[in-house]
């Protein structure tokens, strides 16, 4: 299966690497800085990858285009060496040259192209599409700056510019010849010829050049090398104001350029408060239009204007609603630029496009004011309006409540364009990302669409790249696994199941514990370096790392820590399992509550870590600037995986999968993919607590939930913790936490933190007690790894291929 290796042997690698140092920098390897060593090696591997890619594609094969505003790639060098099958060879070669591959890899900046789970999913899918051997391409935006670089000052999150391109991005290559024009604004003009045939053009407005940059995507075993195409916005004409420049007004002279370039300047947060930004809408249209123009151009070159068969050769997948304009834009290009009939164009769009929903939170559903939308995309809007009109006109009156159904499913309503409805009406497939999430879509948020077209709905439980997050991130454990069951699991993650044969092998479990200890030491060094906290590696590593959001309930975790702290001080006989609580994650810049929770964690860390009465029992660490690179250090070291969202709120979660793979035991609610983890590993190998989705819904619906009742019935423990938010106990670092107190007690605890508190701390007590039986714990931990094969994104992609994209490997 694997092609010829890119280096014959260590000597061949060494020769080529030395030559590349000379050619690129006119320097000997020995005289290069670590950063230069990285840049030369990455450039060399990128070039080799593109060469390997030639010939891995067959003419006529079906192509999948994955449209996503985010691809959270993480560092690529180490990963590509693994996928190209030369990792150990290169490591050995670099060592022979007197360097260290690990040090070189650490120079690579995390590309700032995604927020969190959604963007990381897209990156895992690229990896798996290449591994499964299909022509699967990413289509996204090349943001000049990432979200932000998080630093902690006085316990608070402070946002610094994430200039991830500062030292260049050796993996990309600019493709000027692929530049396309995207048009914003202006007015639509109707033309008619003598025969009565009419057509429309969009006149005036602003023309923007979309310039593509391609990043090679190397699949393990190199069956395919695909690419991710990232679009950058540049001015169409140099429309340079020479008069202004000569008058010394440089800002005015360059305004045209900077207005256009702003479109691809920065990645927006995907949660809270950032809706309605015109620049965001421009980003969405730019990458949709540029991507589709390119796809149709390629198709026409290969197949001619045979548009009716587009869906036989092309699948367009839309990751969430950010690419929702794909449907109308595809129609616009076909109708206005290729002369296809309106009805046929709609049929083609629907056959070609599919959509993944990622959230059930009504406030996260994307909407745009019609006026804003129409002003920016006047011609596109006409297609939406006409499809919406026909949708209303042909709406079946077979349901008693059809009026209500129409209201819920129409694209245009109340002066707004509803992007989820737009996505669905232009797609042939709608999927959720875990079994629970899909059923919530069918019975809740999207129930009317489901009643109308149940056959459109399907579930595709998320997955993660087990090669990146187990093989690459956790080499000590991976070596142990491969020693026991061979390396076939890299290709087929279901082979991890063979590990069940070792669950009672005391020698193996011992080795496993040693590997975990090495991972904990590696993380402890990183934590010390980045946050100054000293972690004792004999403590349990209890980990919650993810974006900060109320529904993810980092606050509940903090309450547990404060409760343990209080119990240690109050009761000399209370002897909890010594535990290090590790947090990491960013909060959106404008999400005040989430940022206060970060400040709270750092204040609790300040109190706990400086109190000698508890220091041999608990420690708290906040690791700044969570990213794929730091995630790869944190997941392997975890022993407890905190997945504690309010049931019914987390669509799937993927850190739950990455952590289970790395032999952490889940402490979680029945939410998202936790439900499926529980089913796979069995109740004895996971710790579930808290209300179930139906109970949460019933409690909210009853109107009988009162935060103060919770407080009053558990004064001693829960009440005490709530009081600490405002009584000065935690104020030393940067003041009290009145707003969190109010969120709980005045806004009546929307996420049911207080309701699940007792069930959670009891579950934690039981789980950490179980930790004492090392053999039993390790057996259970190994069982988690053994059952994790299902959560490889290879499996997820195979399901997309067969059920949605209709494509064979
Ligand atoms: C996996 C991953 C996430 C998603 O974590 P969840 O706990 O599923 O929200 C976010 N950020 C990074 C860097 C990740 O690797």
What pLDDT is recorded for position 1? 41
Distance in Å, CA 234 to ligand 1 centroid: 32
Cβ 114 under 6 angstroms from ligand 1:
no
Helix (H) or strand (E) holding 712: helix 707-713
Query: What are the residue boundaries of the structural domains of the chain, listed by start?
Result: 2-461+798-805, 466-711+756-791
- Residue 95: how many CA atoms within 13 Å on its side-chain side? 8
Question: C-alpha angle with apex 346: 344 to 349, nearest 5 degrees?
Answer: 110
Is the fold of 2-461+798-805 the same as that of 466-711+756-791? yes
116 Cα: distance to centroid of ligand 1 (angstroms): 5
CB 619 within 8 A of CB 645: no
Ligand 1 centroid to Cα of residue 656, in Å, is: 9
**Closest Cα partner for 47 from 226, 211, 176, 173?**
173
Q: Report the C-alpha gap between 599 and 43 in whole angstroms.
A: 40
Question: Looking at ligand 1, which atom is closest to the CA of residue 658?
Answer: 1
- Whole-number Å distance, alpha carbon 471 to ligand 1 midpoint, is 18
Minimum-distance ligand 1 atom for the alpha carbon of 117: 4
Q: Is the CB of 654 under 6 A from ligand 1?
A: yes
Contact 627 CB / ligand 1 (< 6 Å)? yes
Residues in the chain: 809
User: Other CB atoms closer than 10 Å to residue 14's CB: what's the count?
Assistant: 18
* C-beta 140 within 6 A of ligand 1: no
Class of domain 2-461+798-805: alpha beta
123 near 70, Cβ under 8 Å?
no
- Indicate the pTM of the whole model: 0.97
Would you state the pLDDT for residue 274? 52
Q: CA angle, corner 634, sides to 632 and 637, nearest 5?
A: 115
Q: CA gyration radius for the chain?
A: 27
547, 586, 599, 619: which is the annotated catalytic residue? Answer: 547
3-state secondary structure of 586: coil
**Angstrom distance (rounded) from CA 160 to CA 182:** 31
Q: Is 120 in the pocket of ligand 1 (CB under 6 A)?
A: yes
The number of helix segments (H) and strand segments (E) in the chain equals: 36, 23
Helix ranges (DSSP H) in 445-505:
447-452, 466, 475-485, 488-491
Catalytic option among 87, 280, 467, 546: 546
Q: Is 466 an active-site residue? A: no
Annotation: CATH topology of 466-711+756-791: Rossmann fold (3.40.50)
Residue 277 a catalytic site member: no
User: Looking at 280, 374, 466, 552, which residue is catalytic?
Assistant: 552
- CA-CA distance, 672 to 653, in Å (whole number)? 6
Tell whether ligand 1 has an atom less than 6 A from the beta carbon of residue 473: no
Question: What does pLDDT average to in each consecutive run of 10 residues of the chain (809 residues)?
Answer: 78 98 98 98 97 85 97 98 96 98 98 97 98 97 97 98 98 98 97 93 95 97 92 86 86 85 90 69 98 98 97 98 98 97 98 96 87 97 98 97 98 97 98 98 97 98 98 98 98 98 98 98 98 98 98 98 98 96 97 98 98 97 98 98 98 98 98 98 98 98 98 98 98 97 98 98 98 98 98 98 94
Pairing of strands 416-418, 579-584: unpaired
- pLDDT for residue 60: 87
**Is 654 a known active-site residue?**
yes
Query: In 61-205, which ranges are E strands?
Result: 63-67, 135-141, 149-153, 156-160, 173-174, 180-184, 187-192, 198-203
Atom number, ligand 1, closest to the C-alpha of residue 654: 8
- Catalytic, 658? Answer yes
Catalytic position from the list 144, 658, 720, 783: 658
Is 160 in the active site?
no
Is there an atom of ligand 1 within 6 Å of 81 CB? no
């Amino acid at each position: 299966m694997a092609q010829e290796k890119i280096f014959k042997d260590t000597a061949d690698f060494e020769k080529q690497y030395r030559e590349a140092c000379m050619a690129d920098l006119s320097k000997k390897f020995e005289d290069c800085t670590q950063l230069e060593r990285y840049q030369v090696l990455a450039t060399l591997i990128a070039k080799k990858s593109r060469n390997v890619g030639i010939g891995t594609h067959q003419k006529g094969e079906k192509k999948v285009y994955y449209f996503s505003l985010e691809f959270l790639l993480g560092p690529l060098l180490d990963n590509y060496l693994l996928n190209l099958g030369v990792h150990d060879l290169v490591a050995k070669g670099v060592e022979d040259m007197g360097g260290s591959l690990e040090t070189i890899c650490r120079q690579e900046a995390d590309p700032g192209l995604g927020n969190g789970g959604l963007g990381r999913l897209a990156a895992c899918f690229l990896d798996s599409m290449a591994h499964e051997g299909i022509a699967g391409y990413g289509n996204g935006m090349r943001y000049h700056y990432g979200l932000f670089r998080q630093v902690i000052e006085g316990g608070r999150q402070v946002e610094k510019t994430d200039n991830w391109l500062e030292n260049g991005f050796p993996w990309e290559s600019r493709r000027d010849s692929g530049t396309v024009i995207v048009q914003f604004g202006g007015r639509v003009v109707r033309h008619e010829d003598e025969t009565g045939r009419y057509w429309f053009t969009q006149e005036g407005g602003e023309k923007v050049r979309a310039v593509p940059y391609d990043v090679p995507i190397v699949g393990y075993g190199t069956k395919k090398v695909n690419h991710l195409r990232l679009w950058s916005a540049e001015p169409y004409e140099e429309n340079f104001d020479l008069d202004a420049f000569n008058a010394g007004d440089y800002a005015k002279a360059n305004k045209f350029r900077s207005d256009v370039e702003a479109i691809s300047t920065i990645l927006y947060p995907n949660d809270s408060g950032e809706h309605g930004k015109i620049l965001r809408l421009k980003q969405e249209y730019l990458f949709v239009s540029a991507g589709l123009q390119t796809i149709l151009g390629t198709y026409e070159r290969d197949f001619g204007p045979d548009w009716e068969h587009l869906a036989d050769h092309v699948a367009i997948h839309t990751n969430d609603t950010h690419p929702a304009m794909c449907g109308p834009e595809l129609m616009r290009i076909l109708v206005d630029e290729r002369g296809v009939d309106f009805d046929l164009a709609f049929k083609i769009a629907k056959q070609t496009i599919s959509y993944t929903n990622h959230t059930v939170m009504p406030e996260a559903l994307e909407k745009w004011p019609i006026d804003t939308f129409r002003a920016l995309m006047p011609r596109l809007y006409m297609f939406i309006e006409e499809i919406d009109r026909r949708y209303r006109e042909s709406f079946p009156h077979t349901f008693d409540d059809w009026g209500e159904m129409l209201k819920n499913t129409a694209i245009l309503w109340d002066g707004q364009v509803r992007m989820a409805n737009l996505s669905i009406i232009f797609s042939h497939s709608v999927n959720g990302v875990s079994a629970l999430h899909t059923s919530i879509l069918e019975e809740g948020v999207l129930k009317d669409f489901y009643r109308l077209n149940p056959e459109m709905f399907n579930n595709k439980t998320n997955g993660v790249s087990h090669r990146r997050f187990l093989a690459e991130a956790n080499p000590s454990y991976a070596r142990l696994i491969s020693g026991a069951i061979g390396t076939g699991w890299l290709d087929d993650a279901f082979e991890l199941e063979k590990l069940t044969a070792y669950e009672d092998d005391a020698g193996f479990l011992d080795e496993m514990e040693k590997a975990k200890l090495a991972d904990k030491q590696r993380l402890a060094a990183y934590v010390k370096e980045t946050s100054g906290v000293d972690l004792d590696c004999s403590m349990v590593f209890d980990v919650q790392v993810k974006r900060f959001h109320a529904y993810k309930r980092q606050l509940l975790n903090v309450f547990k820590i404060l409760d343990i702290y209080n119990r240690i001080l109050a009761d000399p006989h209370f002897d909890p399992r010594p535990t290090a609580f590790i947090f990491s994650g960013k909060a959106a810049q404008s999400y005040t509550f989430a940022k206060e929770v970060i400040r709270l964690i750092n204040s609790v860390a300040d109190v706990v870590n400086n109190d000698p009465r508890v220091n041999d029992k608990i420690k708290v660490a906040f690791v700044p600037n969570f990213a794929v690179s730091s995630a790869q250090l944190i997941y392997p070291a975890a022993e407890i995986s905190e997945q504690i969202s309010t049931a019914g709120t987390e669509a799937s979660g993927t850190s739950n999968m990455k952590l289970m793979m790395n032999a952490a035991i889940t402490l979680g609610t029945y939410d998202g993919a936790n439900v499926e983890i529980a089913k796979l590993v069995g109740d004895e190998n996971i710790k579930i607590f808290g209300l179930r989705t139906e109970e949460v819904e019933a409690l909210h619906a009853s109107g009988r939930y009162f935060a103060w009742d919770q407080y009053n019935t558990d004064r001693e423990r829960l009440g005490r913790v709530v009081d600490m938010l405002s009584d000065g106990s935690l104020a030393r670092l940067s003041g009290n936490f009145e707003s969190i107190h109010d969120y709980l007690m005045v806004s009546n605890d929307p996420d049911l933190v207080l309701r699940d508190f007792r069930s959670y701390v009891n579950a934690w007590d039981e789980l950490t007690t179980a930790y004492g039986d090392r053999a039993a714990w390790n057996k259970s931990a190994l069982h988690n790894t053994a059952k994790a094969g299902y959560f490889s994104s290879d499996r997820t992609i195979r399901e997309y291929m067969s059920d949605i994209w209709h494509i064979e490997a």
